[in-house]
A = this chain, B = another copy of it.
């Protein structure tokens, strides 16, 4: 890079968007942390996943998920329309590729909520992705949070607990870890990671 004498540095920099991938077990408080950080950080787009699981009461198509049939989903896989996908508890979940690529190209950041299997696929395809793992404060608190939902039977609760502990073992594969003890603190740490990644030179090109 060479710079002239009439140069305002900010105007010379062009930043590619960053892809933030958030994982965390059931009970980590991931959804709440993501929705809170989006209130305090602009230019952060949430990528809506596509799924074959049935819509739950209160959910809306195109808001919580794009709800599709298994046939439609498998067609998206064949067409290469998914950035990642995984089968969890018999349902397919995936991330449509095109909207993510469009947001990043426009210099805005994307935040994705995917499980450890999805995160692994994204890491392989986008080495530049920022992988963040959200942990509950303790195993006991994890179990309390899972039970407090009140809608699941004991077998489902145990299955969620075992699945959560399995996911946590993938933590070292992530770039960052945040313990969600106090919500404000967890949101603030995620915001700091976002702010820091926005200063990363590897995503900045210099128009000189």
Residues of A within 8 A of B (CB): 1-10, 13, 132-133, 135-140, 165, 168-169, 171-172, 174-179, 181, 188-189, 191-193, 195-197, 199-202, 204, 206
Q: Which residues of B contact A13 (CB under 8 A)?
A: 177
In contact, B168 and A1 (Cβ under 8 angstroms)? yes
One complex includes copies of this chain to the number of 2
Q: How far is the CA of A179 from the CA of B8 in the complex (A)?
A: 10
In contact, A197 and B199 (Cβ under 8 angstroms)? no
Partner of A8, one of B133, B137, B175, B178: B137
- 20 additional contacts (CB under 8 A) given A176-B200, A192-B196, A193-B199: A1-B168, A1-B169, A3-B139, A3-B169, A5-B139, A6-B140, A8-B139, A10-B179, A132-B199, A171-B206, A175-B201, A175-B202, A176-B201, A177-B199, A177-B201, A178-B199, A191-B192, A192-B192, A196-B196, A196-B197
Q: How far is the CA of A78 from the CA of B189 in the complex (A)?
A: 43
Partner of A7, one of B1, B139, B193: B139
Q: Which residues of B contact A202 (CB under 8 A)?
A: 175
In contact, B199 and A176 (Cβ under 8 angstroms)? yes
> Can you identify 8 A-B contacts, CB atoms within 8 angstroms?
A4-B139, A7-B138, A9-B135, A10-B137, A188-B195, A189-B199, A193-B195, A193-B196
